[in-house]
């Protein structure tokens, strides 16, 4: 039996199972660092990293940009007579690609996997038919669904938003999609369900009632949660922050904003964060900053693994390739105990001039290698313990005595001020933060790979 899946037709002929060949390999279709079964820090690489292939970028996006037509030919689209046949071929191509690559998960929007019909009922019927087939393919291959979601931003009816749309009728149509997408996610055993608020924001304050829109968004999320739980969904709900694009301002601006929103509306028991590297950058944050912010709130969930182009102000969704950034991210992820329901979903697309079928493999291989290397580097930082030891010691004055009392809430402002006044100025506070020393240590681990 082949160690990969081929459906009605082989869509990536000439490419077999991608194998680990080590850092010296010059085979572009081999892993240099990602060795799925290798144990790092007590766990296999594949179980740490939980890679997912994003359906929309890999099997739908065709290189179109605001200045040019499509450049990437998808044979699974061109060889189909009807949209449903196209969806079936796309599913074949997706499972062939995912199994050849050796990723264990995938993620999709409803409209990526099945076409919209003439009516909401027909759309739902299409989704049920294709996901029935996806279930069979999952069972046959062992590939799992990291999360499902609904595309409630592409169709023109969502031009003023979905859950935050000023027209009730649009909110109801968004609900029809979300309900069907939740059903599909449950059927496929999805570990999560993601809400990325594509157009849940505003283009102008002059036509916007912000309070009402945010209330509607919270109401929508809470009834979606209630429905899914009633249907037996045990997985995580994710909110994926992004500050802007396509709206001028998106309500889920960044992780800190989402945490405030979830807590204000009492949604923080069920919802966690799906953090995307490129979105972090658009919000003027480091990727690791967003991960640590979610972790500090106990709301870390999953990751959309990609990168931006630092000098471009938009979401370029490129494949991750900075070992420094993946190491910093993996350090934050390991510190919080690793993924539970989440994983590393490649919300990334090949450039429009990457027109060879092999380019899709090469891009994913690079991203998987970057995170595997990041994992090894982060594991060494943790095992060695120098940096963590430094951080622990930096706060040690709160571990006992008056500092510990303060942390416990045992000191009034008068008592605290009394301690400061009695101690006097002296040299208190003139302690080095040792940033360069720590950065140098981090670089030693990076190069010691």
Minimum CB separation of residue 235 from Co ion in Å reads 18
Question: For residue 372, what are the contacts with CB-CB under 8 A and spacing of at least 6?
Answer: 31, 33, 34, 35, 45, 49
Is 48 in the active site?
no
Scanning residues 300 to 319, which ones bind ligand XUL (CB under 6 A)? Answer: 304, 315
Query: Least Å distance between CB 54 and Co ion?
Result: 8
**Rounded distance between C-alpha atoms, residue 279 and residue 87, angstroms:** 29
Q: Which of 107-118 are b and which e, b meaning 16 or more Cβ less than 10 Å from the residue's Cβ? A: bbbbbbbbbbee
- Which segments within 173-243 are labelled E, that is strand? 192-196, 201-202, 236-240
* 438 three-class SS: helix
The set of long-range contacts for 79-87, using a CB threshold of 8 Å and a minimum separation of 24, is 79/9, 83/115, 84/114, 84/115, 84/126, 84/129, 84/130, 86/115, 87/113, 87/114, 87/115, 87/126, 87/130
Q: Total binding residues for Co ion by CB under 5 A?
A: 3
Q: Report the alpha-carbon distance of residue 322 to residue 328 in Å, rounded.
A: 10
- Which of 35, 92, 112, 315 is catalytic? The answer is 112
**What is the distance between the alpha carbons of residues 330 and 113, in angstroms, rounded to a whole number?**
30
Tokens encoding 292: 């640590």
Cis, peptide link before residue 246, omega less than 30° from 0: yes
* Residue closest to 377 by CA, chosen among 290, 369, 274, 434: 369
Alpha-carbon distance of 349 to 93, in angstroms, equals 16
Three-state SS at 172? helix
Number of other residues whose CB lies within 10 A of the CB of residue 46:
18
User: Per-residue contact track with Co ion, 284 to 323, x per CB under 5 A?
Assistant: --------------------x-------------------
Residues numbered 252 to 281 that lie near ligand XUL (CB under 6 A) are: 276
User: In terms of CB distance, is 305 or 331 closer to ligand XUL?
Assistant: 305
Judged by CB under 6 A, the residue of 35, 104, 325, 347 near ligand XUL is 347
The partner residues of 276 in beta bridges, in order of sequence, read 304
Minimum gap (Å) between residue 302 Cβ and ligand XUL:
10
Query: Of Co ion, ligand XUL, none, which one does residue 339 interact with (CB within 5 to 8 Å by kind)?
Result: none
- Residue 9 DSSP code: S
Active-site position among 109, 216, 285, 289:
109
Grouping H, G, I as helix, E, B as strand and the rest as coil, residue 35 is coil
Considering only 276, 281, 325, 376, the residue that binds Co ion (CB under 5 A) is 276
Smallest separation, CB 347 to Co ion (Å): 4
How far is 152 from 195, CA to CA, in rounded Å? Answer: 10
Pick from 347, 364, 376, 442 the residue near Co ion by CB under 5 A: 347
Instruction: In angstroms, give the least distance from the CB of 196 to ligand XUL.
Output: 3
Stretch that binds Co ion, among 94-102, 144-152, 346-354, 395-403 (CB under 5 A): 346-354
Nearer of residues 96 and 240 to ligand XUL, judged by Cβ: 240
- The site string for ligand XUL over 133-162 (x = CB under 6 A, - otherwise) reads ----------------x-------------
x-or-dash string of contact with ligand XUL, 95-114, rule CB under 6 A: --------------x-----
Question: Is the Cβ of residue 303 or residue 331 nearer to ligand XUL in the bound state?
Answer: 303
Report yes or no: 71 and 62 within 8 Å, Cβ to Cβ: yes
Please tell me the count of residues contacting ligand XUL according to CB under 6 A.
10
Say which entry of ligand XUL, Co ion, none residue 315 contacts (CB below 5 to 8 A, set by partner kind): ligand XUL
We find the least distance from the C-beta atom of residue 315 to Co ion, in angstroms, to be 8
CB of 294 to ligand XUL, least distance (A): 15
Q: Which region holds residue 245: left if phi is over 0, alpha if psi is between -120 and 50, else beta?
A: left
Query: Could you confirm whether 112 is annotated as catalytic?
Result: yes
**Dihedral of CA 10/109/112/251: which sign?**
negative
Q: Binding partner of residue 325 among Co ion, ligand XUL, none, CB under 5 to 8 Å per kind?
A: none
Choosing from 35, 92, 240, 281, the residue that interacts with ligand XUL (CB under 6 A) is 240
- Tell which positions 369-398 bind Co ion, by CB under 5 A: none
Which residues in 367-426 contact ligand XUL (CB under 6 A)? none
Residue 270 or 276: the one with the smaller Cβ distance to ligand XUL is 276
Residue whose CB is nearest to ligand XUL in the complex, by number: 196
Q: Is 290 in the site for ligand XUL (CB under 6 A)?
A: no
Pairing between strand 39-40 and 30-31? unpaired
Residues that bind Co ion (CB under 5 A): 276, 304, 347
Residues that bind ligand XUL (CB under 6 A): 109, 149, 194, 196, 240, 242, 276, 304, 315, 347
Residues marked as catalytic? 109, 112
């Amino acid at each position: 039996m082949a160690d990969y899946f081929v459906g009605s037709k082989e869509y990536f002929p000439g490419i077999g199972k991608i194998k680990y060949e080590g850092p010296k390999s010059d085979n572009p279709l081999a892993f240099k660092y990602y060795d799925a079964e290798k144990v790092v820090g007590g766990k296999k690489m594949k179980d740490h990293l939980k890679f997912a292939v994003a359906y929309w970028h890999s099997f739908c996006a065709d290189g179109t940009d605001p200045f040019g037509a499509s450049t990437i030919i998808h044979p699974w689209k061109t060889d189909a007579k009807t949209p449903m046949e196209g969806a079936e071929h796309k599913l074949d191509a997706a499972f062939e690609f995912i199994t050849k690559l050796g990723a264990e998960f995938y993620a999709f929007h409803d409209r990526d996997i099945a076409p919209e019909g003439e009516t909401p009922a027909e759309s739902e019927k299409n989704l049920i038919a294709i996901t029935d087939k996806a279930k069979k393919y999952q069972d046959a291959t062992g590939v799992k669904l990291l999360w499902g979601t609904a595309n409630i931003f592409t169709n023109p009816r969502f031009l003023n938003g979905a859950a935050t749309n000023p027209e009730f009728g649009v909110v109801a149509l968004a609900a029809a999609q979300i309900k069907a997408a939740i059903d599909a996610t449950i059927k496929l055993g999805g570990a999560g369900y993601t809400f990325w608020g594509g157009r849940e924001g505003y283009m102008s304050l002059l036509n916007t009632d912000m309070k009402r829109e945010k209330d509607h968004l919270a109401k929508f999320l809470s009834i979606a949660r209630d429905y899914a739980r009633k249907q037996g969904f045990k997985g995580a709900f994710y909110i994926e922050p992004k500050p802007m694009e396509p709206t001028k301002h998106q309500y889920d601006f960044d992780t800190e904003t989402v945490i405030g929103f979830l807590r204000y509306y009492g949604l923080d028991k069920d919802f966690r964060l799906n953090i995307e590297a490129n979105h972090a950058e658009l919000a003027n944050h480091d990727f690791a900053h967003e991960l640590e912010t979610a972790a500090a709130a106990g709301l870390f969930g999953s990751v959309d693994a990609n990168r931006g182009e630092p000098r471009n102000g938009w979401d370029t969704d490129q494949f991750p390739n900075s070992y420094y950034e993946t190491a910093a991210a993996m350090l934050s992820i390991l510190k919080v105990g690793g993924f539970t329901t989440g994983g590393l979903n490649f919300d990334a697309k090949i450039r429009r001039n990457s027109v060879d079928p092999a380019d899709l493999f090469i891009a994913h291989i690079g991203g998987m290698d970057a995170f595997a290397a990041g994992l090894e580097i982060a594991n060494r930082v943790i095992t060695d313990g120098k940096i963590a030891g430094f951080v622990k010691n930096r706060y040690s004055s709160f571990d006992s005595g008056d500092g510990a009392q303060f942390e416990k809430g045992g000191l009034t402002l008068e008592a605290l001020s009394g301690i400061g006044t009695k101690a006097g100025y002296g040299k208190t506070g003139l302690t080095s933060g040792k940033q360069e020393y720590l950065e140098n240590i981090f670089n030693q681990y990076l190069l010691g790979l």
